[in-house]
Amino acid sequence: MVTFLFAIILLIVGYIVYSKVVERIFGINDAQLTPAYTKSDGMDFVPMSWWKGSLIQLLNIAGLGPIFGAILGALYGPIAFIWIVVGCIFAGAVHDYFSGMLSIRHNGEQYPTLVGRYLGKTMQGFINVISILLMVLVAAAFTAGPAQLISEITPLSFIVALIAIFGYFVLAALLPVNKIIGRIYPIFGAILIFMAVSIAISLLFSDTSIPNLTFANLHPGDLPIWPLLMVTISCGAISGFHSTQSPIIARTLKKESDGRKVFYGAMIAEGVIALIWAAAGMTFFGGTEGLQAALTAGGPAGVVNEISTSLLGTLGGILAILGVIILPITTGDTAIRSSRMMLIELLSKSFKKTEEASQGKGKFIVIIATVFIMIPTFFLSTIDYSFLWRYVGWTNQVVATVMLWTGAMYLLKNSKFHWICGIPAIFMSGVVCTYIFYAPEGFSMGYNISLAIGTALTLIIIGWYIKQIISHKNNNSDSQHTAA
């Protein structure tokens, strides 16, 4: 229990201290008008208060991610606490802050366009495809589960439930951001927080004790911690999906100083939620073997339901149903919205003005782009959920890694302390390079050979990074000589 409480304290201290360090290095300017005002369109660029933006951001990036992922990561034992805390403070929250603040600095641009600015057009083309693919996979994976549960507890069939959910998606994607998302998301965000806090209090006062830190790998299947834990627990530590969501809120912030509270703060809140559910998974079933048995019997949704109803009674059952149905749907709708925004931005050169997306012909373009995204999403929602989820993990962390490198290049080109993004970017490069060769959805190679290949690729990336640093220093030196 001491480890759990200390981990929560560290996350809070991380926000109080390190978020200010990151903000100072980035360099905010509240005198500069944000895109919410300079590009106000009544659709996506709409000023909103920071507290409402924070709750919406939390729900956008969280959903069931820090619940399901943390429960699966709990199979490794208390070492998962270390990854959540360190990953959240030094990687995930930094990642979210830069994805949001760079969008603000560049007129609300979407993640792929930001990548193109700092990593080049080739990388932008790659990330355009992979990020839209990630959005479609996330929306599909986070829709199939709720539709299945609705069909089990109501007279509706799976397909009818799926159609109803997609009907809501159409409204959420096409209406102005302050009409549905801005009004109901803060309520659902509060439910997510209340659910986690209630579970935490119940755990602390229960007869069982939350296990303290051990560096041993307690996974019943003896799966390696590196790099699997870093992909299993993404939401709550670092998740590339967040970089696709931050521009939604970046288009609504009233001033740049709100960014620390909204982007960095929401990620820390998600880290706390992940810690609570990881602790619940380790504790409630008497260890990782008991958790594995529960997951085999009912999956993550069954585990959430059992923990909630047992610790919180009837209220817990209601919260579990709300969580397993509503939270993934709210992730799916913003995935659809952000992919629609990415697609329009990608094709904006075909229009006279990107702003056309707010009126006249632009409204027709918004509808066409939404339909284009929703057709494959609906089809994928009808296939096996576990198959979809296997491909979400690695794709998600590739997107996160590229965003960290984007932040590092922004800082480097502006002669700022780039290591706050560069070091976690190197770490995550090692994760994704090793994972793709070892994982069954990748090349399914042996662990040692995967580790060797991943390390070699990471060293090549480090070499590229050093080359960029040297090149920047040489350019600065040449500029100074020229000026002299």
Cis preceding-peptide flag for 66 (omega within 30 of 0): no
Q: Which residues of 386-412 are buried (b: 16+ CB within 10 A; e: fewer)?
A: eebbebbbbbbbbbbbbbbbbbbbbbb
| Predicted local confidence at residue 217, as pLDDT | 93
- 253-310 pLDDT, tens per residue? 999 999 999 999 999 999 999 999 999 999 999 999 999 999 998 888 788 888 888 8
230 in Cβ contact with 237 (< 8 Å): yes
Q: Distance between CA 386 and CA 375 in Å, rounded?
A: 20
CB under 8 Å to 43, separation ≥6 — which residues? 176, 177, 357, 358, 366
- How far is C-alpha 387 from the chain's CA centre? 20
| Predicted local confidence at residue 316, as pLDDT | 77
CB under 8 Å to 377, separation ≥6 — which residues? 136, 139, 140, 143, 166, 336
| Predicted local confidence at residue 298, as pLDDT | 80
393 in Cβ contact with 231 (< 8 Å): yes
Angle 217-221-227 from CA coordinates, rounded to 5°: 55
- How far is C-alpha 17 from the chain's CA centre? 22
Q: Distance between CA 259 and CA 264 in Å, rounded?
A: 7
What is the DSSP secondary structure assignment for residue 34, as one 8-state letter? P
213 in Cβ contact with 379 (< 8 Å): no
H/E stretch holding 55: helix 50-61
Domains of the chain: 2-212+220-383 (1.20.1740)
* Secondary structure in 3-state letters for 103-150: HHHCCCCCHHHHHHHHHCHHHHHHHHHHHHHHHHHHHHHHHHHHHHHH
| Predicted local confidence at residue 23, as pLDDT | 98
| Predicted local confidence at residue 185, as pLDDT | 76
174 in Cβ contact with 44 (< 8 Å): no
Q: Distance between CA 434 and CA 99 in Å, rounded?
A: 25
What is the DSSP secondary structure assignment for residue 92, as one 8-state letter? I
Measured torsion, CA atoms of residues 380, 75, 276, 86, in degrees rounded to the nearest 10: -90
> Does residue 410 sit in helix, strand or coil?
helix
Helices (H) and strands (E) in the chain, counts: 19, 0
Angle at which helix 288-346 crosses helix 181-204, to 10 degrees, equals 160
**Which residue ranges of the chain lie beneath pLDDT 50?**
352-360
CB under 8 Å to 83, separation ≥6 — which residues? 73, 229, 230, 233, 237
87 in Cβ contact with 240 (< 8 Å): no
CB under 8 Å to 366, separation ≥6 — which residues? 43, 174, 340, 344, 357
